[in-house]
Amino acid sequence: MALLKISEPGKSPMPHQFKRAVGIDLGTTNSLVATVPPGKSPHVIVDAQGDALLPSVVHYAEDQINLVGQPALDMSIADPHNTLASFKRWMGRSIDDIQSDDSYDYVRPDAVDGSPDASKASALVAVHTRAGAVTAVEASAEVLKNLAARAESALGGQLQGAVITVPAYFDDAQRQATKDAAMLAGVNVLRLINEPTAAAVAYGLDKADDRYIAVYDLGGGTFDVSILQLSEGVFEVLATGGNAALGGDDFDRAIADWVLAQAAVSAADLGPSAYRQLLQESRAAKQALSEHRAVGLAVAGNGVDWAGELSRQQFEELIDGLVEQTLAGCKVSLADADLVPSDIGDVVMVGGSTRVPRVREKVALLFGQEPKIDVDPDQVVALGAAIQADMLVGNNQERELLLLDVLPLSLGIETMGGLVEKIIHRNTSIPCTRGQEFTTYKDGQTALALHVLQGERERVADCRSLARFELRGIPAMVAGAAHIQVTFDVDANGMLEVSACETNTGVAASIKVQPSYGLAESQITAMLQASHQFARDDLEVRALIEQRIEAESLLDAVQAALQADRHLLDASEVQRIDSAITELAAAAKQDEVVSIKDAIARLGHQTEAFAARRMNQSIKQALQGRHIDAIADPVQDD
């Protein structure tokens, strides 16, 4: 009898055949790739020189053979205009974003619109190189290609897929830009997961008792904090916060700015090459100050020649303001999760910048406990991503892990009066699907324009536009008769699809929200702060707009009724109704909610008898010429 290879759906029929899958930490300063070999613990894959870290730097050479990693970093001083670094910080950003946000002052002055259509305001940022205008997506693709090649060489074959990590506060545009970079690099993305969640997985906290976990992630260019709840092996992100424009690079710049101040010169006085040199020396000084009490620094170039010493105390004074910004983010996330520091069972430190003693000291003080630092903070995210990748391709059948990330900002659509109706609220676990029913506003309306928005405020003008699309083919009916189901579907990667369907006819339309730019982190923070600061004002404005919409609807309905059936009223009744109409029209132009509400009530009262007469007239017309038996038994009419 022949033996059949039987397996569970989606599982390999030969359990000993492992699929090649990796976790990739695509970082601002350095990037890594890790894997889980059969029967072994996860580990980071090193290059031919034995280095685990790949500097996230790309150099565009004259021979069109791009350099990536350390060779590119070595060229950053000699050829700064053709060397890109820290480009993750403008991933998914537009020219408008960097021009309106001073936290992006590090983007080179030769930044240009990266879209083929120069009139497109939402185009990605690009910078001029000898290879042309290069976007952060294209530069990131070069880094991903290098990491994928390193992994394939070590694992002996083509990769089946990769889990790529992103900052928890990356918005939809930044996540899409990351997926686009992977597509350009030929890397199959199994899933995007948040960096703090990956770190918790790497520490094996999914095997711990139920508890709350805080993950403090301070990398080269971004800061994230996530509050997770572990319950029966399920990681649920309760709240997340951070700043995608704050990291160790800012520590380096703080030292460089101090040096420039001591030398009484500006970065422009040094020139691009000498300034790059100063930044590299500042980074080395930062790292040295984690072990030593003081370090020597010097700056030279274009006639500038200065040397001096920076103490650890001076360095801590330079960065204290930046560290306090991260702690403020921690406090906000704790409040969002309705927790206090003493509720936290474990604090996990992630990112090379957490090696700075001052950072560890401040975090320990805030949470009242020493944070976990026993896994290399540079590697922990990649290791966690590798564990997740190993499970997603079916290699690890024994370990069960469910990651529930959250949305950083609410999602909704525009309604009448320029108001935002939230469909999915911020800090909702993803993946998720939410729907709400809407209707038409005007009689005979056959199309509906849908405007998708992101933000916490009540008005469209105070939120961020994500996409627009139209639902056409709605049957012509009286206002309010159509039933339009609007559904928001957010997948595990945080990507949004919006659909609308008129339930009577089945007419439908949908759109995948894939904007070419998104929100700067300072904008997200500002939006959240504004939602609290202006909460009362927003509610008052919403109430006013809703009353005005109700007034306009009532005025339209009464005027249409008068035009059709004025003969049902005597002169005095018409006069009273006209007077109430005038009052309501005047009140609707004012900013007093109570006045509009009272005027609506008065017009409603004046038209009660009129409405009853119209109803009676309609019934009489419907029954005219029909036999009483036919009314009792409608089948007789057939």
Q: What is the C-alpha to C-alpha distance for residues 557 and 408, in angstroms, rounded to an integer?
A: 41
Q: What is the C-alpha to C-alpha distance for residues 526 and 174, in angstroms, rounded to an integer?
A: 18
Q: Does the structure show a pLDDT above 90 at 168?
A: no
Mean of pLDDT values over 97-104 = 56
At residue 347 the predicted structure's pLDDT band, cuts being 50, 70 and 90, is very high
Of 486, 502, 533, the last residue of a domain is 533
Q: What percent of the chain has pLDDT over 70?
A: 81
Q: What's the token pair of residue 536? A: 């009362």
The residue with greater pLDDT, 345 or 123, is 345
Q: Any residues with CB less than 8 A from the CB of 446 and at least 6 apart, and which?
A: 472, 473, 474, 475, 476
* pTM metric for this prediction: 0.60
Are residue 159 and residue 286 in the same domain, yes or no? Answer: no
pLDDT computed for residue 153 by the predictor: 92
Are residue 615 and residue 582 in the same domain, yes or no? Answer: yes
Tell me what the pLDDT averaged over the chain comes to: 80
Are residue 85 and residue 63 in the same domain, yes or no? Answer: yes
Q: What's the token pair of residue 394? A: 């079916």
Q: Any residues with CB less than 8 A from the CB of 565 and at least 6 apart, and which?
A: 610, 613, 614, 617
Using alpha carbons only, give the angle 70, 76, 80 rounded to the nearest 5 degrees: 155
Residues involved in catalysis: 25, 88, 195, 217
Label residue 325 left, alpha or beta by phi (over 0 means left) and psi (-120 to 50 means alpha). alpha
pLDDT computed for residue 317 by the predictor: 95
Mean of pLDDT values over 532-548 = 68
**Does a structural domain hold residue 526?**
yes
**Does a structural domain hold residue 637?**
no
pLDDT computed for residue 118 by the predictor: 39
pLDDT computed for residue 1 by the predictor: 33
Tell me the helices (H) and strands (E) count for the chain, helix number first: 17, 28
- Per-residue pLDDT of 461-498, as tens digits, reads 777 777 788 888 888 887 777 888 888 888 766 677 88
pLDDT computed for residue 154 by the predictor: 92
Q: Does the structure show a pLDDT above 90 at 416?
A: no
The residue with greater pLDDT, 68 or 99, is 68
CATH of the domain at 458: 2.60.34.10
Report strand pairing: 411-415 vs 447-454. Answer: antiparallel
Q: Does the structure show a pLDDT above 50 at 252?
A: yes
**Does a structural domain hold residue 3?**
no
**Does a structural domain hold residue 414?**
yes
Task: Name the residue range of residue 600's domain.
Answer: 536-623
Are residue 523 and residue 579 in the same domain, yes or no? Answer: no
Q: Scanning the structure block, which residue is given the tokens 């700067």?
A: 520
pLDDT computed for residue 523 by the predictor: 47
Q: Does the structure show a pLDDT above 50 at 12?
A: no
Cα 132 to its chain centre, rounded Å, is: 29
Q: What is the C-alpha to C-alpha distance for residues 454 and 469, in angstroms, rounded to an integer?
A: 15
Residues pairing with 484 in the sheet: 438, 502
Q: Are the C-beta atoms of 138 and 119 separated by less than 8 Å?
A: no
Q: Any residues with CB less than 8 A from the CB of 445 and at least 6 apart, and which?
A: 474, 476, 477, 479, 482
Are residue 156 and residue 269 in the same domain, yes or no? Answer: no
Residues pairing with 85 in the sheet: 57
Of 354, 385, 403, the last residue of a domain is 403
Q: What is the C-alpha to C-alpha distance for residues 67 and 85, in angstroms, rounded to an integer?
A: 12
Are residue 515 and residue 547 in the same domain, yes or no? Answer: no
Range of weakest confidence among 48-52, 354-358, 616-620: 616-620
Q: What is the C-alpha to C-alpha distance for residues 285 and 263, in angstroms, rounded to an integer?
A: 17
Count how many Cα atoms sit within 13 Å of the Cα of residue 531 in the half-sphere of its side chain. Answer: 18
- Per-residue pLDDT of 522-536, as tens digits, reads 544 554 565 556 656
Of 481, 510, 533, the last residue of a domain is 533
Mean of pLDDT values over 385-391 = 89
Are residue 229 and residue 105 in the same domain, yes or no? Answer: no
Are residue 395 and residue 321 in the same domain, yes or no? Answer: no
**Does a structural domain hold residue 573?**
yes
Q: Are the C-beta atoms of 203 and 174 separated by less than 8 Å?
A: no
**Does a structural domain hold residue 7?**
no
Q: Does the structure show a pLDDT above 80 at 249?
A: yes
pLDDT computed for residue 324 by the predictor: 95
Backbone angles phi, psi at 581, to 5 degrees: -65, -45
Q: Are the C-beta atoms of 507 and 474 separated by less than 8 Å?
A: yes
- Per-residue pLDDT of 290-343, as tens digits, reads 999 999 998 887 778 888 999 999 999 999 999 999 999 999 999 989 999 999
pLDDT computed for residue 299 by the predictor: 84
Q: Does the structure show a pLDDT above 60 at 27?
A: yes
The residue with greater pLDDT, 409 or 384, is 384
Give the total residue count for the chain.
638
A 10 A CB-CB count for 118 gives 10
**Does a structural domain hold residue 413?**
yes
Mean of pLDDT values over 147-156 = 93
A 10 A CB-CB count for 94 gives 24
Q: What is the C-alpha to C-alpha distance for residues 470 and 445, in angstroms, rounded to an integer?
A: 13
CATH of the domain at 118: 3.30.420.40
From 169, 236, 181, 220, select the one nearest 350 (Cα to Cα). 220
CATH of the domain at 565: 1.20.1270.10
Residues pairing with 134 in the sheet: 127
pLDDT computed for residue 552 by the predictor: 81
Are residue 157 and residue 226 in the same domain, yes or no? Answer: no
Q: Are the C-beta atoms of 98 and 106 separated by less than 8 Å?
A: no
Are residue 362 and residue 388 in the same domain, yes or no? Answer: no
Range of weakest confidence among 113-127, 591-605, 613-627: 113-127
Share of the chain residues as helix, strand and coil, in percent rounded to the nearest 5? 40, 25, 35
Mean of pLDDT values over 582-589 = 85
Mean of pLDDT values over 362-390 = 91
Domains contained in the chain, number: 4
Using alpha carbons only, give the angle 447, 449, 452 rounded to the nearest 5 degrees: 150
**Does a structural domain hold residue 566?**
yes
Are residue 325 and residue 381 in the same domain, yes or no? Answer: no
- Per-residue pLDDT of 491-521, as tens digits, reads 766 677 888 888 888 888 877 765 433 444 4
Q: Does the structure show a pLDDT above 50 at 185?
A: yes
- Per-residue pLDDT of 269-283, as tens digits, reads 888 888 888 888 999
Are residue 601 and residue 553 in the same domain, yes or no? Answer: yes
- Reduced to 3 states (helix: H, G, I; strand: E, B; else coil), residue 635 is helix
- Reduced to 3 states (helix: H, G, I; strand: E, B; else coil), residue 336 is helix
A 10 A CB-CB count for 380 gives 31
pLDDT computed for residue 638 by the predictor: 45
pLDDT computed for residue 614 by the predictor: 79
DSSP structural state of residue 636 = G
pLDDT computed for residue 243 by the predictor: 81
Residues pairing with 111 in the sheet: 127
CA distances from 109 to 207, 404, 598 (A): 49, 40, 58
Label residue 444 left, alpha or beta by phi (over 0 means left) and psi (-120 to 50 means alpha). left
Cα 279 to its chain centre, rounded Å, is: 30
